[in-house]
Amino acid sequence: MIEIKNLQKKIAGNIILDDISFSVKKGEILGFLGPNGAGKSTTMKIVTSFWNPSKGTVLVDDINVEKNSILTRKKIGYLPETVPLYDDMKVFEYLKFVAEIRDVPKNEIKKRIKEVVEETGLKKVLLKPIDELSKGYRQRVGLAQAIMHKPDILILDEPTTGLDPNQIAEIRDLIKKIGKEKTVIFSTHILSEVSATCDRAIIINNGKIVAEGNIEELMKKAGAREIIYVKIKGAKDEVLRKIKEMENVDHVEVKDKESDNIYGYEIKPQKNVDLRENLSSLVMNAGWSILEFRKEEMSLEDVFRNLTN
């Protein structure tokens, strides 16, 4: 479990993190969202004891990361954003070093490396020097390094940047698999990633948390409303007028045209009222017919833009 209380970080007089508090429960996958430079990496650097906070505390399993950092570091596996690796080592040498320094018992090192290599798909490059690896393989080595000691907590800073779609899918699956038993925090600025993998997300901007919750809650918070799309066969002007007169309708407009008297309309309700029933009875009474009917939601991208602008 990770508990972050009133975290502040100043670097050279600039406030990078401004009074951030949140907690991550065991077995939860938390997506850490925000534009570049929002403070995601800074938060991660503090949780992993690379940097000290200017103010506030971070507790990992109730242990202070500043005061007892050796203990908390043991619980954490960390993949920094830049995927730093020792380029002059071979993959195997590097993983062996990680296993040793991470206290994997000596007689289990080989077995553990084998497992990790299997999980991250590194078998082919095991004997290659790290500086000859492609970006995708580097990322995997970084990930292998982070999970080597079976940490309770995994912190991944933008683990999917620079990967191709297949690799992204693989890494996501791996995160999901690990997240079943472990706590995972990963940062990203790609929204679909959050909806694909996370239980919960935190959106951070300019060093402050702007929204927090599961995907639906985030949508609500951003003022995301359902939009109804309906295709009606009937006289356009009359349809428009009647819909406008309906209760709880904020806005209606013609979206597309199929033929002379078949149009698609987009209806925005006031608040979050379900208009569908009223709408269908309206159409019935007027003697028109509905040819298509669907609910559209504001995309995560819109939410993100709403919250961070």
Binding site for another protein (CB under 8 A): 45, 48-52, 70-71, 73-74, 76, 78, 80, 82, 84-89, 93, 97, 100-103, 145
Q: Which tokens sit at 178? A: 């690990």
Nearer to another protein, 103 or 132 (CB): 103
Q: Which tokens sit at 85? A: 């690796």
Minimal distance, residue 86 CB to another protein, in Å: 6
Contact between 30 and 185 under an 8 Å Cβ cutoff? The reply is yes
Nearer to another protein, 45 or 200 (CB): 45
Minimal distance, residue 162 CB to another protein, in Å: 15
Minimal distance, residue 84 CB to another protein, in Å: 4
Q: How far is CA 207 from CA 6, 59, 166, in A?
A: 12, 19, 32
Helices (H), the chain: 40-47, 69-75, 91-101, 109-120, 135-147, 165-179, 191-197, 215-221, 236-245, 276-286, 300-308
Give the dihedral sign, CA 190/192/197/202. Answer: positive
Nearer to another protein, 100 or 173 (CB): 100
- DSSP bridge partners of 241: none
Nearer to another protein, 45 or 182 (CB): 45
| Burial class (CB within 10 angstroms; exposed 0-12, middle 13-18, buried 19+) of 44 | buried
Minimal distance, residue 182 CB to another protein, in Å: 17
Give the dihedral sign, CA 83/123/105/93. Answer: negative
Nearer to another protein, 70 or 259 (CB): 70
Minimal distance, residue 184 CB to another protein, in Å: 16
CA angle 39, 133, 182 (to 5 degrees): 50
Nearer to another protein, 27 or 80 (CB): 80
Minimal distance, residue 155 CB to another protein, in Å: 9
Nearer to another protein, 106 or 294 (CB): 106
Q: With helix as H, strand as E and coil as C, how does 111-170 read?
A: HHHHHHHHHHCCHHHCCCEHHHCCHHHHHHHHHHHHHCCCCCEEEEECCCCCCCHHHHHH
Minimal distance, residue 61 CB to another protein, in Å: 14
